[in-house]
Amino acid sequence: MIAKNVKIDVKDLTVAYGSNILLKNADFTVNKGDVFIIMGGSGSGKSSLLRVMTGLMPPASGKIMIDGIDFVSASSEKQKEIMQKCGILYQSGALFSSMTLAENIAMPLQQYTDYSEATIQDLVSLKLALVGLAGFEEYYPSEISGGMKKRAGLARALALDPDVVYFDEPSAGLDPVSSKLLDNLIIDINQSLGTTMIIVTHELASIFDIGTNSIYLDGNTKSILARGNPSELLKNPPNETIYNFLTRGKENAKRA
């Protein structure tokens, strides 16, 4: 079980597909309550790093220490135990199209808890209300908008009251208004529940609006070029690469 004061320490981590190294010897820490942004250019290994952190692919080497336990070398049973206290919002929302929103959100509760069906239905309604979808229990994914699908996916990710939620490009495919609504929701949940958020994104608006901590992955050097609060990185950029990324070629330098 993950402790409530958990932090995630990534140590000497190398991410690769065979001989193709995307990230080598990476070290960083995600503290409890962070809205932690993984940013970088296309092909820098952001989503691959997230897959390693969630156990969907193994690293080439290194450790991911969660509450003092190395997630990488842990047994499959221990990894499952750890991941039951984590939620994942995939880029597409990844809802089951043949199931209603209520059925989608009920699934992890049915699989991993001994709650009665009545309790599960109450929790489903609570999670949907938490993401602004009260009353949408019987809707199918095809009957709601893209932004609503993302929120429904987030409700499912929150079903088991996780300590950590991972996001892969949560704003992808959303219009600016829906993207802003999702950002606000992430902030509200982080502040009200204390949930740690780890988010892969390249959207500057989201990076500055919600990020409290971050790393920048560089595809050329296969390394982490910067760490810290994104707004602080813009005010005091450690190098030109970070400055150019955070200003999109100086067009948005006034954001912070």
**pLDDT at residue 4 is higher than 70:** no
Number of domains in the chain: 1
Helix (H, G, I), strand (E, B) or coil at 68: coil
CB burial of 194-220 (b: ≥16 within 10 Å; e: otherwise) equals: ebbbbbbbbbbebbbbbbbbbbbbbee
pLDDT of residue 2: 47
Is 67 a member of any domain?
no
Q: Could you tell me whether strands 196-200 and 35-40 are parallel, antiparallel, or unpaired per DSSP bridges?
A: parallel
pLDDT of residue 254: 47
pLDDT of residue 252: 46
User: Is the alpha carbon torsion for 39, 209, 193, 127 positive or negative?
Assistant: negative
pLDDT digits (tens, 9 = 90+) for 108-119: 999 999 999 999
The answer to whether residues 102 and 124 touch, using CB atoms and an 8 Å cutoff, is yes
Is 108 a member of any domain?
yes
Q: Which residue has the tokens 């954001």?
A: 255
Percentage of the residues of the chain whose pLDDT score is greater than 70: 94
What CA–CA distance (Å, rounded) separates 69 from 89? 24
Is 1 a member of any domain?
no
Q: Could you tell me whether strands 86-89 and 8-17 are parallel, antiparallel, or unpaired per DSSP bridges?
A: unpaired
Is 65 a member of any domain?
no
What's the domain range around 222?
Answer: 32-51+85-247
Confidence of residue 256 (pLDDT cuts 50, 70, 90): very low
The mean pLDDT of 46-53, rounded to a whole number, is 96
Is 60 a member of any domain?
no
Tokens of 168: 């892969």
Alpha helices, H only, 21-145: 46-53, 76-83, 101-112, 117-130
pLDDT digits (tens, 9 = 90+) for 124-141: 999 999 999 999 999 999
End-to-end alpha carbon distance in the chain: 38
Is 20 a member of any domain?
no
State the maximum Cα–Cα separation within the chain, in Å, rounded to a whole number: 56
Residue 217's beta-bridge partner residues?
40, 224
Neighbour count for residue 249 (Cβ, 10 Å): 9
The answer to whether residues 163 and 196 touch, using CB atoms and an 8 Å cutoff, is yes
Is 14 a member of any domain?
no
pLDDT of residue 245: 93
- Residue 151, domain CATH: 3.40.50.300
User: Is the alpha carbon torsion for 84, 187, 179, 57 positive or negative?
Assistant: negative
Helix (H, G, I), strand (E, B) or coil at 195: coil
Is 225 a member of any domain?
yes
Instruction: Please give the model's pTM, rounded to 2 decimal places.
Output: 0.90
Tokens of 2: 């993950």
